[in-house]
């Protein structure tokens, strides 16, 4: 039975779910809201791991995404003089564990574009485009628009939008990130925010002009004092800089979560004073950057990700945090399970959502398990601790123990396979 569906958020998760929903039934009427003026083509490097890889293959999008992948050949741990203490490569065999660097590294904007374009393609005709009107089957995107209120009964959800209009839907999906407005609307402002559990690590991301010594090996530098710096260049014209600081400072939390970009830049500049390595270069880039972004690292721990006819998806439901490397993959497996349950239960939205809530939980639980020592291992306090972790990683690198190291990561735990939903025809 075709449904009238509202998806809130057009990052990775929203277009991914829209694509799967259209593949399962081209007669669905789908609207995707995005608060930004258009599809955001910016963003730094993300990756596909575990369940995300076969799902992209099932969608026929893995080869398309692979052509846009960043060619990064591993990661090195360096000291303040840039000397390598350990180096880990990439598993390019298409089988087994991914390393620190995935075989499928891709810029966020490129993956969003792949999924967005896929969502526009009519599964029956192969023609791309949006639906002719709001009552026609197909998909349409509404930019610079967001929900301000949700009310629901047994038969549908009334959504008031930022443009003042109110529309009714059979199903509403919140795919709007770790600070999800949808989550706060359905569970209440205070409760929705409390579901985000901070790791007390604050990260900043931006790019700087590439220099000749920036090769295709990513680098990680333990600064000490609860700080770390990573760089990634791959085959791209700019170098990405990642700053990660672990602190209980309320000033830092307030700046990162509530204050303007210039204030955030000043806070990170102060935090990294005297950091060493290439900090003077990165400080200059920080001051001049136009793509700076900062956020709190944490995980969304929601007892339930469904309320009535509203469901949460991706980071809104189960943010695993960037330190797990599983965020994109969890968005894809969540979309897969939700589309599958909706197809299986043929228009019975409440039953489908209950099944989604229950059946996606094992994937969420596995993805959110932090490796022993994370995030401390990236944000070490003492110089003695930095010395020890470099020594340990150097040992792992020397005897090629990275495969064993990654065997304990969440993507390989539990032996969980992607579920089969023949009803979706995917």
CATH code, 306: 3.50.50.60
Could you tell me if residue 240 is inside a domain?
no
Which residue range forms the structural domain that includes residue 333? 4-71+105-194+299-371
- With cut-offs at 50, 70 and 90, classify the pLDDT of residue 59: very high
pTM of the entire structure? 0.93
DSSP string, 76-143: EEE-TT--EEEEE----SSSS---SS-TEEEEHHHHHHHHHHHHHB-TTT--B---SSTTSSEEEEEE
Could you tell me if residue 25 is inside a domain?
yes
For residues 77 and 220, the answer to whether their CB atoms sit within 8 Å is yes
Phi, psi of 220 (to 5 degrees): -130, 130
For residues 173 and 6, the answer to whether their CB atoms sit within 8 Å is yes
| 132-181 per-position pLDDT tens digit | 888 899 999 999 999 999 999 999 999 999 999 999 999 999 999 999 99
Could you tell me if residue 207 is inside a domain?
no
45 vs 309: CA distance, rounded Å: 34
| 177-212 per-position pLDDT tens digit | 999 999 999 999 999 999 999 999 999 999 999 999
pLDDT at 412 over 50: no
How many domains does the structure of the chain reveal?
A: 1
421 vs 24: CA distance, rounded Å: 10
| 72-102 per-position pLDDT tens digit | 889 999 999 999 999 988 765 555 555 566 7
DSSP string, 171-238: EEEE---TT-HHHHHHH-HHHHHHTEEEEEEEEEEEEEE--TT--SSEEEEEEETTEEEEEE-TTSSE
* CA quadruple 251, 222, 321, 71: dihedral, nearest 10: 130
Could you tell me if residue 418 is inside a domain?
no
Q: Where is 75: in which H helix or E strand?
A: strand 75-78
| 279-319 per-position pLDDT tens digit | 999 999 999 999 999 999 999 999 999 999 999 999 999 99
Taking CA atoms, 205 is separated from 25, 51, 80, 365, 378, in Å, by 39, 26, 20, 27, 16
For residues 198 and 81, the answer to whether their CB atoms sit within 8 Å is no
For residues 76 and 213, the answer to whether their CB atoms sit within 8 Å is no
Residues pairing with 67 in the sheet? none
Two structure tokens written together for 42 = 């910016």
| pLDDT, average across residues 10-18 | 97
Could you tell me if residue 248 is inside a domain?
no
Could you tell me if residue 10 is inside a domain?
yes
Contacts of 127 (CB under 8 A, 6+ apart): 121
Q: Tell me if residue 6 falls in helix, strand or coil.
A: strand
What's the full length of the chain, in residues? 426
220 vs 278: CA distance, rounded Å: 12
Could you tell me if residue 264 is inside a domain?
no
| 247-266 per-position pLDDT tens digit | 999 999 999 999 999 999 99
Could you tell me if residue 139 is inside a domain?
yes
- Region of poorest pLDDT, from 26-35, 66-75, 412-421: 412-421
């Amino acid at each position: 039975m075709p449904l009238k569906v509202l998806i809130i958020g057009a990052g990775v998760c929203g277009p991914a779910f829209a694509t799967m929903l259209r593949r399962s039934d081209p007669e669905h009427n789908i609207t995707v809201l995005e608060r930004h003026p258009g599809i955001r083509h910016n963003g730094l490097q993300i990756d596909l791991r575990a369940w995300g890889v076969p799902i992209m293959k099932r969608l026929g999008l893995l080869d398309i995404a692979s052509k846009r992948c960043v060619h990064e050949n591993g990661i090195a741990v360096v000291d303040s003089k840039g000397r390598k203490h350990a180096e880990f490569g990439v598993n390019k065999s298409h089988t087994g564990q991914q390393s620190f660097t995935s075989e499928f590294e891709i810029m966020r904007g490129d993956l969003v574009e792949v999924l967005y374009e896929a969502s526009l393609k009519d599964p029956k005709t192969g023609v791309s485009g949006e639906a002719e009107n709001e009552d026609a089957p197909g998909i349409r995107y509404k930019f610079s628009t967001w929900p301000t209120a949700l009310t629901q009964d047994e038969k549908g959800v009334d959504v008031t939008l930022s443009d003042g209009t109110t529309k009714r839907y059979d199903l509403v999906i919140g795919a709007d990130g770790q600070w999800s407005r949808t989550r706060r609307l359905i569970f209440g402002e205070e409760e929705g925010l409390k579901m985000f559990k901070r790791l007390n690590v604050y990260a900043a991301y931006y790019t700087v002009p590439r220099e000749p010594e920036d090769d295709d090996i990513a680098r990680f530098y333990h600064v000490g004092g609860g700080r770390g710096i990573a760089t990634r260049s791959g085959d791209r014209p700019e170098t990405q800089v990642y700053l990660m600081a672990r602190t209980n400072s309320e000033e830092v939390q307030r700046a990162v979560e509530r204050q303007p970009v210039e204030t955030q830049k000043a806070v990170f500049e102060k935090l990294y004073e005297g950091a060493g390595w290439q900090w003077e270069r990165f400080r200059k880039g920080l001051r001049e950057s136009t793509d700076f972004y900062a956020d709190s690292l944490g995980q969304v721990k929601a007892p339930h990700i469904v309320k009535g006819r509203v469901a949460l998806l991706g980071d809104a439901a189960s943010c695993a945090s960037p330190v797990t490397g599983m965020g994109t993959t969890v968005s894809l497996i969540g979309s897969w399970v939700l589309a599958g349950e909706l197809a299986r239960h043929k228009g019975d939205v409440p039953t489908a959502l209950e099944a989604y809530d229950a059946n996606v939980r094992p994937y969420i639980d596995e993805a959110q398990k932090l490796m022993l020592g994370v995030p401390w291992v990236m944000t070490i306090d003492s110089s003695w601790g930095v010395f020890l972790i470099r020594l340990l990683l150097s040992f792992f690198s020397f005897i090629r123990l990275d495969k064993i190291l990654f065997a304990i990561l969440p993507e390989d735990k539990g032996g969980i396979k992607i579920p089969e939903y023949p009803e979706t025809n995917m």
